[in-house]
Amino acid sequence: MTDGEEGSDATNGGADDGGTPDALDGFRQFFALERDVLVLSVAMFAFSLGFQMTNRFLPEYMVALGASGFVIGLFGTFGNVISALYPYPGGAVSDRLGSRYALTLFGLLSTVGFLVWLVAPGVGAVTVAGVTVEPWVWIFVGLVLAQAWKSFGLGATFAVVKQATAPSRLAAGFASTETFRRTAFLVGPVLAAVLIGLRADFTVSFQFVLAVAVVFGALGTLVQHLRYDASDDSIGDSFSGLDQIRSDLREMPEPLRPLLVGDTLVRFANGMVYVFFVLVVTQFFEVGLDATVALGGFSYGVDLSPQAFFGYLLGVEMLVALLIMVPASKLAERVGLKPVVAVGFAVYAVFPVVLIYAPTLAGSALPLWAVMVAVFAFSGLRFAGLPSHKALIVGPAERGAGGRVTGTYYLIRNTVVIPSAAVGGYLWDFVSPEVAFTVAAVIGVAGTGYFLAFGKEFEAYA
């Protein structure tokens, strides 16, 4: 990752001002980036693939291992704690070891985390000092390890794009890397769905998925260790402990404050229900796909379990996301970042009530599986605002401070969001899923409204 300007021309060349942008523009821009950025992003692709194959199915896995809805909510909150706390220690480790060895360490830890999830059913319940440790506890242990690679990647990615892209093209720059990375979000769940369909016992079939995730984690670690050149990397140099955190909080650019408030409310709402999306499909509605498909004079039966069907629903969601991100980033250059970000926030906000009530409202007009496909296609629209959102975060930062500004922003947001999943889990388990999802939507709408009222436009797009 070089600090020079030479990457900007390549980054800007993917989706020129002439012509209509399409989904491939993101790939064209991405493959024009420098080698070290490509290597880092390939590793990110491998780990994203591992996470997306596994993470969205973990609540169902935990239920199979004996966890309750409230425990699943606590698991979501535990993940929020890790997301909030990991980035800064990750910077300290990077300073100490250097980026290359830190990346290798984080990659190995993540791979071991996937492995812990894989062996959890075999370990079973263990008695320690008279206390029985249930099998689902190992999913918490695995998460501590599996999220290690993320502790470095977030601020690094923002800083790289900030350095390599002209201010007025930040959304397009983020769209290029996001399009490539989010391809893993499409491939991962669909591959998981195929593997889950190999066995009727979900616990066994999901272990196939986890085994593949271990392989991808090992390959990602190997590639980044052998091919990543960190000789010009200065991202880790910005970390200097708690004093730096306090200084960064005080010096956060003023335009980010209303974005941070609105974003935090929207993400708190999403965090309340995110871990329960799989359970809505597999247990609340118990919707799979059992149909006969006719093609070219031949017909064959499709019989997907709810768990496998959920994987394909995630694939539909991410296909829509991949198709919409680049055109939306191009639109932002015409209308500004704020309106595009607001659309993404709005979809985030209303999706919980759309998911929980759409099947009831549709009645018998459409089969339940078709309603779910439409619902998750709608969910994919929330990613339209993602590149613009990232541009709005890092845009106001001084050059060379993008990583620190990003780290500060996400530290605050993720810290506030920590209890969200536990709140959602309590409502899910002790009140009702409908109440949990409705309360989440109300909070999300409030956050979207706040951003619309007080959010600032990045002047490069104004």
DSSP string, 405-462: HHHHHHHHHHHHHTTHHHHHHHHHHHT-HHHHHHHHHHHHHHHHHHHHHH----TTT-
* Residue with the two structure tokens 């309590």: 426
Banded model confidence at residue 461, pLDDT cuts 50, 70, 90: low
Banded model confidence at residue 329, pLDDT cuts 50, 70, 90: confident
**From the CA atom positions of the chain, what is the Rg in Å?**
22
Q: Is 3 exposed, middle or buried (0-12, 13-18, 19+ CB in 10 A)?
A: middle
> Rounded mean pLDDT of the chain?
82
pLDDT per position as a tens digit, 22-60: 545 545 555 545 566 667 777 878 888 999 999 999 999
Most confident among 66-70, 126-130, 294-298 (mean pLDDT): 66-70
pLDDT per position as a tens digit, 265-277: 999 999 999 999 9
Judge contact between 53 and 66, C-beta under 8 A.
no
Banded model confidence at residue 236, pLDDT cuts 50, 70, 90: very low
111 has a pLDDT exceeding 90? yes
Banded model confidence at residue 155, pLDDT cuts 50, 70, 90: low
Please tell me the predicted confidence (pLDDT) of residue 429. Answer: 96
Banded model confidence at residue 367, pLDDT cuts 50, 70, 90: very high
Q: Which residues pair with 128 in a beta bridge?
A: 131
Please tell me the predicted confidence (pLDDT) of residue 21. Answer: 47
14 has a pLDDT exceeding 50? no
Q: Which residues of 422-438 are buried (b: 16+ CB within 10 A; e: fewer)?
A: bbbbbbbbeeebbebbb
Query: Of residues 408 and 402, which shows the higher confidence score?
Result: 408
The span from the CA of 233 to the CA of 254, in Å, is: 28
Mean pLDDT score, 81-94: 75
DSSP reduced 3-state for 233: coil
134 has a pLDDT exceeding 60? yes
249 has a pLDDT exceeding 80? no
Please tell me the predicted confidence (pLDDT) of residue 17. Answer: 44
Weakest mean pLDDT among 100-104, 121-125, 160-164: 160-164
Cα dist. 334→44, 183, 238 in Å? 30, 26, 34
Cα dist. 350→12, 271, 372, 443 in Å? 34, 13, 15, 10
Mean pLDDT score, 388-401: 69
Distance, first Cα to last Cα, the chain: 30
DSSP 287-355: --EEEEEEETTEEEEEEE-HHHHHHHHHHHHHHHHHHHHHHHHHHHHHH-HHHHHHHHHHHHHHHHHHH
Most confident among 17-26, 99-108, 162-171 (mean pLDDT): 99-108
The span from the CA of 170 to the CA of 337, in Å, is: 10
Query: Of residues 38 and 367, which shows the higher confidence score?
Result: 367
Secondary-structure breakdown of the chain: helix, strand, coil percentages, each rounded to the nearest 5? 75, 5, 20
Tell me the pTM. Answer: 0.85
Q: Which of left, alpha, beta for 405 (phi over 0: left; psi -120 to 50: alpha)?
A: alpha
**pLDDT above 90: percentage of residues in the chain:** 50
**pLDDT above 70: percentage of residues in the chain:** 75
Q: Which residues pair with 133 in a beta bridge?
A: 126
Question: Which residues, including other chains, have CB under 8 Å from residue 339's CB and lie 6 or more apart?
Answer: 332
Please tell me the predicted confidence (pLDDT) of residue 15. Answer: 39
Please tell me the predicted confidence (pLDDT) of residue 177. Answer: 63
Question: What tokens does 397 get?
Answer: 């930062």
Judge contact between 197 and 308, C-beta under 8 A.
yes
Please tell me the predicted confidence (pLDDT) of residue 16. Answer: 44
Please tell me the predicted confidence (pLDDT) of residue 165. Answer: 61
The span from the CA of 150 to the CA of 245, in Å, is: 19
Side chain identity at 461, as an amino acid letter?
Answer: Y
Please tell me the predicted confidence (pLDDT) of residue 18. Answer: 42
- Of the candidate CATH numbers 1.20.210.10, 1.20.1250.20, 2.60.40.2310, 1.20.58.1880, the domain formed by 7-454 belongs to 1.20.1250.20
DSSP 361-417: HHTTSS-HHHHHHHHHHHHGGGGGGHHHHHHHHHTTSPTT-HHHHHHHHHHHHHHHH
Phi/psi for 435 (5° steps) reads -65, -45
Question: What tokens does 405 get?
Answer: 């500004």
Query: Of residues 328 and 346, which shows the higher confidence score?
Result: 346
DSSP reduced 3-state for 21: coil
Please tell me the predicted confidence (pLDDT) of residue 400. Answer: 47
pLDDT per position as a tens digit, 303-324: 899 999 999 999 999 999 989 9
pLDDT per position as a tens digit, 174-226: 666 666 677 888 999 999 999 999 999 999 999 999 999 999 999 999 988 88
Indicate the pairing of strand 126-128 with strand 289-295: unpaired
* Residue with the two structure tokens 């989440």: 440
Please tell me the predicted confidence (pLDDT) of residue 223. Answer: 87
Write down the domain spans for the chain: 7-454
Query: Which helix or strand (DSSP H or E) is residue 7 part of?
Result: helix 7-12
Mean pLDDT score, 351-372: 92
Mean pLDDT score, 342-361: 96
2 has a pLDDT exceeding 70? no
Weakest mean pLDDT among 43-57, 89-103, 105-119, 220-234: 89-103
